[in-house]
Amino acid sequence: MWLVVVTAIVAVVLGLRFAYRYRIRYCTSMRKLHGKTAIVTGASAGLGKETALDLARRGARVIMACRSLVKAQPVAAEIRTKTGNRNVEVRHLDLSSLASVRKFAQDILDSETAIHILVNNAGIFGSPKRKLTDDGLEITMETNHLGHFLLTNLLLGTLKASAPSRVINVSSDLHASCKTFDPDDLNYEKQPYPGPFKSYQTSKLANVLFTMELSEKLCGTGVTANCLHPGAVSTEIVSKNPTYWWLTPIMDYLMWTFALDVKRGAQTQIYLAVSDEVDGVTGKFFDNSQVIEPSKLAQDPNLARRLWNASERLVNLASEEKHY
């Protein structure tokens, strides 16, 4: 009896694993990117690394924007070896520091004449307790949203001059778990800090709202902005996070059972970066390389404008840093 039950459970688990993984639509675009420049944040591991590898294989100049140079340099060397593309480099970027974002952006503007693809991929899981950065900003929101908001704005002038160009923001379908959102309380000063899962979900909702407002501001410029859910992907965001060491064995098992590997998980952001099918498509939310409807909250234009205005205030976006 028990043997039958165990066999049935194993069969169901393996069936779900197979079904989830093999539903993925691979990016079939053959587009080459010789002469194009791409920036990928968080490119030292996971989805960012796989995206950087694919873009380098297509011939792009790839700038890996990473917090740890020690970790990223060997990855860049690996990508150069695998692709034969010597035009892959690493530059330091800590999205939880506005000063670091501004320094990175200025270095890019000083050295690069064009930017054709910006993949805002980096992200962290929520902090167990409310934690403020040196900027006085909640660390999850600054890393996942505000840092990318500032970076994108600082690079917008060059992105527009390089058009057609693309901005890709990696979000999550977990944004739909948010039933309320207050753009004027991104630091959780009015309401209690909701914990790691909710703070992460809220930052992912901010990614979607930012994308929608960005696409409106860039209408007619030749720069498109889209966001995506990569799927449940086996990355280091939780399982290798030292704060959640006790979750590692559980997450490793769940990731093995149900999650996508990074190659499959990166397909949608690669698709948005290179595919002819999305030429001119902007302001959309994608899952498995297909447009889907984000949550109702994420489609609220008034909320998107309020978030944009609040984000400008929090990052102290100066008039000379505005290119929309």
Q: Output the pLDDT for position 254.
A: 52
101: confidence class by pLDDT, cuts 50, 70, 90:
very high
Which of the four pLDDT bands, split at 50, 70 and 90, describes residue 218? very high
Mean local confidence (pLDDT), 6-20: 45
Amino acid identity for residue 115 in this structure: I
- Is the model's pLDDT at 236 over the cut of 70? no
Q: What is the pLDDT of residue 231?
A: 73
3-state secondary structure of 211: helix
What local confidence, expressed as pLDDT, does residue 6 receive?
43
CB atoms within 10 A of CB 250: 12
3-class SS of residue 157: helix
Give the mean pLDDT of the chain: 89
State the catalytic residues.
200
Buried b (16+ CB within 10 A) or exposed e, 52-83: bbbbbbbbbbbbbbbbeeeebeebbeebbeeb
Q: What is the pLDDT of residues 295-316, one digit of tens each?
A: 999 999 999 999 999 999 999 9
For residue 24, what pLDDT is reported?
Answer: 77
pLDDT of residue 243: 55
What pLDDT is recorded for position 245?
52
3 state DSSP class of 204: helix
Q: What distance in Å separates the CA atoms of residue 37 and residue 219, rounded to the nearest whole number?
A: 22
**What is the DSSP track for 254-305?**
HHHHHPBPHHHHTHHHHHHHH-GGGTT--S-EEETTEEE---TGGG-HHHHH
Each residue's pLDDT tens digit, 190-214: 999 999 999 999 999 999 999 999 9
| pLDDT, tens only, 170-181 | 999 999 999 999
Q: Higher confidence at residue 120 or residue 5?
A: 120
Please tell me the predicted confidence (pLDDT) of residue 280. Answer: 97
d(CA 162, CA 246): 46
Mean pLDDT of 238-258: 52
Q: What mean pLDDT do residues 222-238 have?
A: 77
Identify whether the C-beta of residue 221 lies closer than 8 Å to the C-beta of residue 163: yes
Determine how many CB atoms are found less than 10 A away from the CB of residue 175.
Answer: 25
* Domain membership of residue 163 as a residue range: 2-321
Structure confidence at residue 18 (pLDDT): 47
Q: Which residues contact 65 (CB under 8 A, 6 or more apart)?
A: 39, 40, 41, 42, 43, 91, 92, 93, 104, 122
Adjacency order of strands within the sheet including 285-287? 88-92, 61-66, 37-41, 117-120, 165-170, 223-229, 285-287, 290-292
CATH of the domain at 236: 3.40.50.720
Beta strands in 52-193 (DSSP E): 61-66, 88-92, 117-120, 165-170
Query: Looking at residues 15-42, what average pLDDT do you find?
Result: 80
- The whole-number pLDDT of residue 19 equals 46
Task: Tell me the pLDDT tens digit for each residue of 273-300.
Answer: 999 999 999 999 999 999 999 999 999 9
Residue 92 has, within 13 A of its CA and on its CB side, a CA count of 8
- 119-135 residue pLDDT tens: 999 999 988 999 999 99
Q: Is 126 exposed, middle or buried (0-12, 13-18, 19+ CB in 10 A)?
A: buried
The alpha carbon of 86 is separated from its chain's Cα centroid by a whole number of angstroms, namely 25
pTM of the model: 0.88
SS3 call for 160: helix
Q: What total of structural domains would you count in the chain?
A: 1
